[in-house]
């Protein structure tokens, strides 16, 4: 699926919820179901620091596509990570770089990507795009 298609799918998924509590219950479920990153990645080397919650992120290249894996110590953060991974993982570096990520606004989770939340998510997206740049450069060589 393209990034656009996945974004549309997520937006539709979230439009089913009438109130914030259902939405957060859904996020919590997703946070719990996110496959955990292998223990070897849960180290400082892969840590994206946020003052409130911590995020670990790893990236690998497989058949021209970037595979992201991530984890967090907070469940809601993990739920949002789950969304970000669904969208950006298994995509080409170019597609990752071009992704606008505006679905976040549409599903009403914008506040979680505000730098004042200091939950590591803003830095996580930056880091994902940075990985895409690195892989793109490597591919060109």
Partner 1 sequence: MNFDIKKIRKDFPALHQEIYGKPLVYLDNAATTLKPQVVIDSITNYYSTINSNVHRGVHYLSQQATEEFENTRKNIRKYINARNTHEIIFTKGTTESINLVANSFGKKFLSHGDEVIISELEHHANIVPWQMICEEKGAKLKVIPINDNGELILKKYKDLITDKTKIVSVSHISNTLGTVNPIKEIIDIAHQHDIPVMIDGAQGIVHEKIDVQELDCDFYCFSSHKFYGPMGVGVLYGKEKYLEEMPPYQTGGEMIKTVTFKKTTFNELPFKFETGTPNVADVIGFGSAINYIKKIGIENIIRYEKELLKHATEMLSGIQGLRIYGEAKKKAGVISFLLKDIHPYDAGIIIDKLSIAVRTGQHCAQPVMDRFDIPGTIRASFAFYNTKEEVDKLVQAILKVQEMFG
The alpha carbon torsion through 87, 125, 52, 112 (nearest 10 deg) reads -60
- Pattern 89-108, partner 1, x by CB under 8 A: --------------------
Comparing CB distances to partner 1, the nearer of 61 and 75 is: 75
Beta-bridged to residue 59, according to DSSP, are: 68
Give backbone dihedrals phi and psi of 118, rounded to 5 degrees, phi first.
40, 50
116 binding partner 1? (CB under 8 A): no
- Give me the catalytic one of 21, 51, 62, 141: 51
Concerning whether 78 is annotated as a catalytic residue, the answer is: no
Assign 62 to helix, strand or coil. Answer: strand
Gap between the Cα atoms of 119 and 74, Å rounded: 9
43 binding partner 1? (CB under 8 A): no
- The residue ranges that bind partner 1 (CB under 8 A) are 20-21, 24-25, 28, 51-54, 73-77, 118-119
């Amino acid at each position: 699926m393209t990034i656009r298609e996945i974004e549309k799918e997520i937006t539709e998924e979230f439009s089913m919820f009438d109130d914030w509590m259902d939405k957060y219950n859904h996020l919590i479920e997703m946070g719990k179901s996110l496959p955990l990153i292998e223990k070897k990645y849960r180290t400082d080397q892969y840590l994206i620091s946020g003052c409130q919650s911590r995020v670990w992120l790893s990236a690998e290249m497989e058949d021209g596509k970037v595979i992201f894996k991530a984890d967090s110590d907070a469940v809601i953060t993990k739920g949002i990570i789950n969304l970000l991974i669904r969208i950006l993982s298994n995509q080409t570096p170019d597609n990752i770089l071009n992704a606008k990520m505006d679905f976040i606004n549409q599903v009403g989770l914008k506040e979680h990507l505000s730098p004042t939340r200091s939950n590591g998510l803003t830095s996580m997206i930056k880091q994902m795009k940075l990985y895409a740049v690195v892989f793109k450069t490597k591919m060109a060589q």
